[in-house]
Structure 1
Amino acid sequence: MPHIELGNDLPGIVSLFAFRPETAAPLSELAEVLLRGPSALSRGERELIAARVSHLNSCRFCTDSHAAFAAVQLDQGMPLVDQVRADPATAPVSDKLKALLAVADAVQESGRAVTDEHIKTARVAGATDTEIHDTVLIAAAFCMFNRYVDGLATTAPDQAAAYTEMARHITAHGYRDAVPLQP
């Protein structure tokens, strides 16, 4: 049960967006730019970073929703997402993505945990400064989103189908049009 009366039965962050639309707009815009805007990283790869950070933060709603969002946008689907959540170093992704996931893991721990070695490894693997920047910002933003969702004790659907439906909506319409969906 949420810590505050939200006036709706929506899950996770969508319940918070319905409660405070004025804060939902800039947060949705941030997610849109980071996860769907122009980038050398695919939308699926960026969602994978969001799912990994959310997993490390133990935010069930964000982990399950962004895992579903990544899975529908990656050829390898949920098996790859599950491998990355469990151990990105052994997952069948590019060396560049492995290095960026290591950067994201460090950001999740603390911004100061990102070392020169993390950045060097990412660059050697082919990551650009923009990709490194965006990885750090995605990881930092998801630490905030995770704490927002869990700090107010929002609910999370138990059914995988609810996340699949959210994934269909987000991949088709984006975050700016994140119409609250009933699970």
Structure 2
Amino acid sequence: MRLSNLETGQRRPAKFFMLMASKASGAEMADVVKMFLYRPEFFGRAISEIFTEVMRGPSFWTAGEREFIALRIAQLYKIQYCIDIHTEMISIASTGEVDAADVDTARPELRAVLPFLEKVTRSPDSVGESDLAEARELGVSDEAVIEALHVAFIWDAVDRLAYAFDFKLLDGQVTKGTRALHQFKYRFPAFTLR
């Protein structure tokens, strides 16, 4: 259900930012950004900090691999909005290291951890140590598993919100919006989150 507050309910600094960014890019601000900037003290400020750290901070997983995990979570929920964005983001962030359409192009470590993340997402009560056996054989550490779980967790939340609020992609948002998100490492200007 689309909420009118997400269209126009942001504070003045956020509205100014959205207007200027839309003029600069030639595309209307994406629904996900509108959501983050609406009542930032409730969700946007905290998730913005987490996004920057989880998606672009130091990690065992490359930026492209983290985007691939995000894509896989969106595919599990069948959220086309997020599928389209992460498919584009993979091509930007991975610099050719992984193809969004072919998991076999990914490192074996990523291929080994994906079934574990899917099971955690779909049936968490049935997850056991054996679900990580292949990843362990490839040397994937506890820290790397936790980093992958963090990526899956944040996108699990965003995908559910995208579904609940009926996010839609408009012309230009996939290419221009994803490039901006990548360039700014998922960080919003501080003044928009006050």
Query: Under TM normalisation by the shorter chain, which class is it?
Result: 0.7 to 0.9
1:76 to 96, 108, 122: 96
Contact 1:12 1:62 in 2 (8 A): no
What CA deviation, in whole Å up to 9, does each residue of 1:93-150 have, x standing for no partner?
2221101111221122132243322212111112111111111222122111111121
Q: What is aligned with 1:172?
A: 183
Structure 1: 5+ residue stretches without partners: 85-90
Q: Which moved more, 1:92-101 or 1:7-16?
A: 7-16
Q: Which residue of 2 aligns with 1:42?
A: 62
2:168 pairs, out of 155, 160, 168, with: 155
Is 1:63 equivalent to 2:74 in the alignment? no
Normalised TM-score (structure 1): 0.82
Distance 1:139 1:114 in 2: 15
CA RMSD of aligned residues (A): 2.2
**How many residue pairs were aligned?**
170
The aligned counterpart of 2:121 is 108
- In the TM superposition, what is the alpha-carbon distance from 1:42 to its structure 2 partner? 0.6
1:128 aligns with 2:141: yes
Structure 1 runs of 4+ aligned residues shifted over 4 Å read none
Unaligned stretches of 5+ in structure 2?
9-27
Larger Rg: 2
Task: Give the residue type in structure 2 aligned to 1:18.
Answer: L
Is 1:18 aligned with 2:37?
yes
Q: Percent identity?
A: 24
